Structure 1
Amino acid sequence: MSLITLAAAAAQTHEPIYWVELGLKNGIDLGFFTLRYYSLAYLAGIVLGYWHLTRMAKAPGAPLAQRHADDLFFYCTLGIILGGRLGYATFYTGGDTGIPSLWLHPGELLSLWHGGMSFHGGVIGVLLAIAWVAWRGGLNFLRVADYLSVCVPFGMLFGRLANFVNGELWGRVVTDPNLPWAMVFPDAPDQLPRHPSQLYEAGLEGLLMIVIMLLLFWKTRARFRPGLLVGVFTAGIGSARFFVEFYREPDAQLAEFARQTGLSMGQWLTIPLILLGLFLVVRALARPAVATGRPAVA
């Protein structure tokens, strides 16, 4: 290859973006305490979701009242935190042994500032919270889940943006050296340009799902077909996660598992969600819509 050809190839190669040059910090230093953006992201998602749920509760045909929204705010917050941490301990720790090692140190389950939250564990925690509130209030579980599913993408958006600000959960090494948004993360062992998969997730699991769910709720009659909204959410969020996992670096302790099975742990856990979501959508469309009158709840 001639020197001219080599020079032309070098000129066509884009310089990657270096995360450290973006000037991002993982929190606000208050002197005696660092208020981490990761915690603020969860708080922002929960508060915004609660605000929107109160708006939906006032719309015609709502299956819940304000007091139920208040209960969901409290119990779903517990479900997200406890379910997310327990899910992470179960599925994403253990290293080469395959044993969920975080269970051997239960005190670390409360160390949220160290990171480590499982989306699938959080989903289970939220479902248990919905079941509890629906049972106590005599509400239809599926319809309450429909309403809550509209609010969840807010938290997904903020959470993934917080992952990017923390410089964690980066993507795989890029195969195209000219990818304009390829990024070098400081904690990556090889210091090679990678996909900023956190932003992919924020866009697909967060922003795209926010648009879809809000349009379905406010511009269509989807909320009057029990299971349709939560089905679209479940299938949509599962499909987005499955796709992004092709660009996301597997957790170090599960890299060998991904190599042996052909799919990452996140993808294996997402397949049942996609199938469940599709089932709920088909079931909802095959059944008649519910009455649009507002239920008599206090």
Structure 2
Amino acid sequence: MTDLLAYYLHDLSPHVIRFTDTFAVHWYGLAYVLGFYLTYLVMHYLARKGLSEIKPEQVADFITMVALFGVVLGGRLGYMLLYDWDHFVEAPWSLFLLNQGGMASHGGIAGVALFCLWYARKHKISWTGIGDTIVCGAPLGVFCGRIANFINGELFGRVTTVPWAMKFPTELLHEDFVVQGGTPVSLPQGIQYSPEIIGFFQTQPEGVAGLEAMLHPRHPSQLYEALGEGLFLSMILLSVRLLYPRLPHGILTGLFFILYAVARISLEFVRQPDSGSEAIMGLTRGQFFSLFMILVGAAFIAYGWYRGPVKKSVA
């Protein structure tokens, strides 16, 4: 019965607009900009309500700096250290080649935490207080990033037969394609994205139907993660912030670490592991690194519980 299902063939372009072969506006870059803007709106809203260590007029500068030094630098360094160590050792300057891709959410989170620590000491305000504010909006950036992952056809899920499964042509570029039963395919140099792969097959005798026959139906895990690690998480934390304005500093930050880790660990079970990524103690690298986030989150909550409720608004 499942063989008769017509699964959606992913054919979205990674470009918002393409001017030339080498110059284009990418959805992924736009997702970063939109994510920072949404985080700014949430932080500015909380600051105006007196629920932030940062004053409303300081939010814009803070977001600009945390985006550059926390998210981008931290995310890139985290990817090189956690997922591409051999390449980093051989060519450490590749850290700055952002156009080649490669960002890790765990590295971005660590980068933001360290930047907030520096910012708090510089301005003599509560580090955990800053954290409680930024975690309410930051998951919206994760949401935008995962949507961009979906548009790019990357970080797709494991093979499945659920009715909403999708076929991603970028599977052909995954080294596990043959292992999973796919037919070896020789693609022209330079073909990297789903629309280009589909365009290539349209020139072949079997056409797109031949392409669909080779691909496996998969979980659209990018959308699962967009909701679980992004939108829903932000809604939960923002609701707690508004319902409990005197919540001790650090509690919300701890909740973010724990809830993000739980969502990431759970959803990784339906996400295809990265090419060449070896399991650690039976877990994917994303799951393994997330375990430490639970410990960090518990430490933040214990610290906040020990310090007690916030006595007054700080903004």
- TM-score, normalising length: structure 2: 0.80
Would you say 1:26 and 2:14 are equivalent positions?
A: yes
Amino acid at match of 2:276: Q
Deviations 1:35-71 (A, max 9, x none): 0000110110011111221221122353222354234
Checking the alignment, whether the CA contact within 8 Å between 1:71 and 1:133 is kept in structure 2 is: no
Amino acid at match of 2:272: E
Shift of 1:107: 4.1
**Moved >4 Å (runs of 4+):** none
Deviations 1:127-163 (A, max 9, x none): 1210111111001111111111111111010000000
Residue 27 of structure 2, aligned match among 37, 53, 64:
37
- Give 3-state SS (helix, strand or coil) of 2:76's partner: helix
Checking the alignment, whether the CA contact within 8 Å between 2:43 and 2:52 is kept in structure 1 is: no
Deviations 1:96-142 (A, max 9, x none): xxx43134234433333332110111111111210111111001111
Amino acid at match of 1:284: G
Residue 227 of structure 2, aligned match among 179, 203, 207:
203
The 5 A counterparts of 1:59-78 are 59-78=49-68
CA change 1:225–1:89 in 2 (3 A) is same
Residue 229 of structure 1, aligned match among 252, 255, 258:
252
Would you say 1:56 and 2:46 are equivalent positions?
A: yes
Percentage of matched positions with identical amino acids? 34
Distance 2:217 2:143 in 1: 24
Shift of 1:261: 2.6
Checking the alignment, whether the CA contact within 8 Å between 1:61 and 1:292 is kept in structure 2 is: no
Would you say 1:268 and 2:288 are equivalent positions?
A: yes
Distance 1:81 1:103 in 2: 20
- Give 3-state SS (helix, strand or coil) of 1:77's partner: helix
Would you say 1:160 and 2:143 are equivalent positions?
A: no
Distance 2:8 2:43 in 1: 39
- Give 3-state SS (helix, strand or coil) of 1:35's partner: strand
CA change 1:16–1:80 in 2 (3 A) is same
Distance 2:298 2:126 in 1: 20
Structure-1 residue corresponding to 2:300: 280
Shift of 1:270: 0.3
Structure 1 unaligned regions, length at least 5? 1-8, 94-98
Distance 1:49 1:293 in 2: 21
- Give 3-state SS (helix, strand or coil) of 2:231's partner: helix
The alignment of Structure 1 onto Structure 2 pairs a total of residues equal to: 271
- Give 3-state SS (helix, strand or coil) of 1:162's partner: helix
Amino acid at match of 1:122: G
Distance 2:52 2:227 in 1: 29
Checking the alignment, whether the CA contact within 8 Å between 1:232 and 1:281 is kept in structure 2 is: yes
Checking the alignment, whether the CA contact within 8 Å between 2:135 and 2:234 is kept in structure 1 is: no
CA change 1:107–1:215 in 2 (3 A) is same
Would you say 1:112 and 2:103 are equivalent positions?
A: no
Amino acid at match of 2:225: E
Would you say 1:290 and 2:310 are equivalent positions?
A: yes
Would you say 1:146 and 2:136 are equivalent positions?
A: no
Checking the alignment, whether the CA contact within 8 Å between 2:156 and 2:221 is kept in structure 1 is: yes
Distance 1:91 1:48 in 2: 28
Distance 1:246 1:163 in 2: 17
Distance 2:33 2:313 in 1: 33
Distance 1:286 1:102 in 2: 41
Structure-1 residue corresponding to 2:8: 17
Would you say 1:85 and 2:105 are equivalent positions?
A: no
Residue 249 of structure 1, aligned match among 243, 253, 272:
272
CA change 1:180–1:132 in 2 (3 A) is same
Amino acid at match of 1:244: L
Shift of 1:15: 2.7
- Give 3-state SS (helix, strand or coil) of 2:269's partner: coil
Would you say 1:102 and 2:76 are equivalent positions?
A: no
